[in-house]
Structure formats: structure tokens, C-alpha cells
A and B are shown apart, each in its own frame.
Chain A
Amino acid sequence: MVGIPSRHKSLVLLAGVILLQVVLLAVQIKRDSQGRLIRVWTVGVISPFQRAGTQGVGSIRGIWNHYFALQNTSRDNEQLRRENDALKLQITQLQSKAAEADRLAGLLNFRKLHMEVPMVGARVIGASPGTASVTIDIDRGQRDGIKRNMGVITPDGVVGKVIEAYANTAQVLLLTDKDSGVGALLADSRTQHPVGGTGEPLLVMKYVPNDDNVNDGERVVTSGMDRIFPRDLPVGTIVEIKPGNPFKQIRVRPAANLDRLEEVIVLLTLHPLELRTESESASQQPPAANAAGQAPAARP
């Protein structure tokens, strides 16, 4: 029997492995299946490290920024310095906690204003491992009621949507991803145009005819037509308008700081939602006891 020459064995293996992966790609496209099992295993291995890393870095960063950076300022007296350092360390921890508390208070306040909407807060524990997609990982998953296609926001504005929920974590596709989009409208004229990502920090507003009046600095809010996000959530602000063919080229700066996300809110419903305005909410304050707990179930 004629064997394969040893120098060609690796070429044969290469061809086989590439063919296997091409078939894998084809199967995913044909069946709209995304190899969930492999992803669950990989995420299961990496996510505990991410969770631990995020917590560790948070503590170290707080101490580094506020303690070590200031250490050289108190050399005069060793005794005083020790006391000083101990106090600074305490302050550092308090500052770090205060900053976190501010952010959490923002989230809590948002929840209080919208008690009718079921939502859960989550901490960001990871980012995209490559440039092919713009995603983040959060430390809440199916056990917290998170499912695919749920909207993700911050009090500043829209963040993206859940594209995969695992047991304890979930993956969120950010608005800036080129496959991402949100139903939006111009806050002043109330005309509706979808907004999508390009893989870059700015978003684009699509299909705006050249004769439509759009102003630089105009706010863009959700239209609610995508049935993922409630109406009138901030999406961003228009920062660039250029005439194009056949539509204007409009760039939008996201309202939420998508480069520096630490905590987000997941809207725990797949039904269309309505958020009350702040004035409506103020006249109808919910009981404080419910504020920290999970909001009631979705009302279709």
C-alpha cells in the first residue's frame, strides 16, 4: 500500500482541518446553529477568572490610585506618615466604595423611577476577545432570568442587547458592533430612523433623506419600534452630518459611555415596554422597600 510521504502529511492534515472548519461554518449558516456547546464550555472555563479578575483589579486600582500615588507626599515624620497612610488607606477604601455607591445609586434611582419595568443590575466582567465583534460579558445569566434579545441599558442610555445567556454570565452585543442596531427617532422632529454600529466608537443614523432637516447636536432617542427597548431612552447625540447619495451620512455619539462600562441594567422582558417620564414617576413614587429587590414580572 502506498503511504503518504511524511512531508506531505502535515499538508493533508491542514487541508482536512480547514475543510472541517469550512463545513462547521456552513452548518452554522445553514441551520442558524451557533455551536452552543463549545461556547458554553469555553465561557465556563474563562468566566470564573474574569469574575475574580474584575473584583481583584477593582480593589487594587482603588488602592493604587489613591494610596501609592500619594505615598511620597508624607515623608517628614515616620510616625505621622504611618498614621497618615493608615488614614489614607481608609479614605481610599471609602472613596472607592463611594464611587461605586454613586454608580449603584444611579442605577437604583433609575430602577426606582421605573419600578414597573422588570430589570436587574449586572457588573461587566469581560470584553470582546478580538476585533470581529464588539461585545461585553456580564456577571448575570439565565439564573437571574436573562435571555437572548433582552435590552441592556445604563441610566445614561442604550448599551446593546443580550446575544447569549449562559447559566451565570451573559454576552451583550454593544450598539457599536456592526451587526447591532436600534429603532430610534430624532428627539425634536420625532422622525424615525434606525441607528446602527460600524465597529467604530460612533454610531450611524441610517436612511435620512437629504431634504430632511437634521441639526448638529440633536438628541436621538429610542423609538420603541424594535420591541426591545422602551420608547424615549437616550441613544446618543448627532455629532456629524454630511450630504450623501441617496441618504445623509449622520454620525451619532452614544449616550452611554460604551468604552467604560462597569455596571449595566438588563431589561428582563421580551415584551414591548413603556418607561414613564421622570415627572410621571415623581408623582407616583413606588414604595422604598421594593427598590432594592427585583422588580415585578413583565406585563405584556
Chain B
Amino acid sequence: MKITPENIKDYIRQGLECEHLDVDGDGRHFEAVIVSKAFEGKGLLQQHKLVYQVLGDRMEKIHALSMKTFTPEQWAKRA
């Protein structure tokens, strides 16, 4: 079964409370923008690890996922 951006959104939402979540992709390559309070106090590496943990074994079916992670504060400053 082909994975859709909606699937990935659901997977992330199930394990991570997000203030903002965007996933785009063609079934093989995906791009995610993830804004979550859970990222506060964490470096980029820990933020990405957290998302990978939430996705778990499903990462094996996701060929390529590019992600940008923000805390709500960083996101507000950016917009």
C-alpha cells in the first residue's frame, strides 16, 4: 500500500501533540513541517529523533522524509 502524506500526518499526530503540522509528498519523498511544544528545550537532533520514535517501524516503509521542526515560539517568530 502506498503511503500518503495524510497517513504520515496521522502517524505523527497519534504520538505527538502538534500546534501545526504539514506533510507534502509524492508517495516516496515527503516533506514535513512540524511545530510542537514537545520540542522545547531540545536540540535539532533530539527533535528529529523524537519524530522518528513516533513513526517507529513505519519509517521502514517511508522511503524518504525531510523534516523541519520548530517550537511554537520559533514558529511564531518565523511567521
Q: Do A and B bind each other?
A: no
